[in-house]
A = this chain, B = another copy of it.
């Protein structure tokens, strides 16, 4: 007696990761409905060895659905969410559409699972860069409240979806052949370069992605006073976001203490033997559930600061896995 689950945006990178993870984690399902735009209608995807046909999403698609996993972008998700709720579904939304709505819980299960209960139909999945940062910092925040976070990111192109992965592949190949090209997806060349812009700019000179890291972190941790500043940068990596984080706490935490706490924290794997060149790397996080934390050291520029390097699979913990963990908490606690 499992649940009826629908995936909106099933053919996208995150949609396909949803399918893979429902299978891997043996999520108890009665039925799985795969929904997408009319462009993908009729495509067949495999689930537990069986072909499932992709249907065009429509208001009636959510009839009988218990949990709807959304990852179709903010506009489409915003359109379909009330329709799905009306049919009785709980929506777990991976877009930015509802994250900062006061009535929508924004949840990372390792941090604020209890917030799930407060939902009014939608539970929002945070931004990829935010998720891995709060998973790494929250166990330390519980010991000594965070006062400030400075973070710079090194974000993989898969966070922008399949066309961006294809653009990096294409540009890399053309550069190898010595050919010139015009970038199509990103505003500038990404192969063998980087772009200090993720998402659009706001008038204050920050990007929306940078503000997401500020606003979402505060909301998830229920800590509206943490001072946060971010610089988000796209790098020519296919999978795995990396972050250089400077965290300041109310009182000092020694690096060894931080490592000991993080070793026993949910969703975290400490990878920190720098003398052996062992530290988190994009190629180490791929298809891993854990957020990898390493290069933990004193921030000598602050009396209470720590510096660290945090890497996670942006499609997995940064997107699909976190959403499915939210669903698992609901099932496990009997909240659905």
Residues of A within 8 A of B (CB): 148-150, 152, 154, 168, 172-173, 175-176, 187-189, 192-197, 201, 204-206, 214, 227-229, 231, 233, 235-238, 242, 244, 246, 255, 274-275, 277, 279-283, 294-302, 305, 307, 309
Contacts and interface: CB of A to CB of B under 8 A. Distances in A.
Contacts of A280: 196
A297 B205 contact: yes
Given A150-B150, A154-B233, A194 B297 contact: no
A283 B236 CA distance: 14
Contacts of A242: 194, 196, 233
Contacts of A227: 300-302
Contact of A205 (B188, B189, B255): B255
Contact of A236 (B236, B255, B277): B236
A61 to B, nearest CB: 37
* Most-contacted residue by chain B among A149, A154, A294, A309 (CB, 10 A): A154
Contact of A297 (B206, B228, B236): B206
A231 B307 contact: yes
B188 A236 contact: no
Query: Which 6 A/B pairs are nearest by Cβ-Cβ distance?
Result: A205-B297, A227-B301, A187-B277, A152-B244, A231-B244, A229-B301
A108 to B, nearest CB: 21
A193 B237 contact: yes
Contact of A193 (B189, B205, B281, B305): B281
A46 B301 CA distance: 47
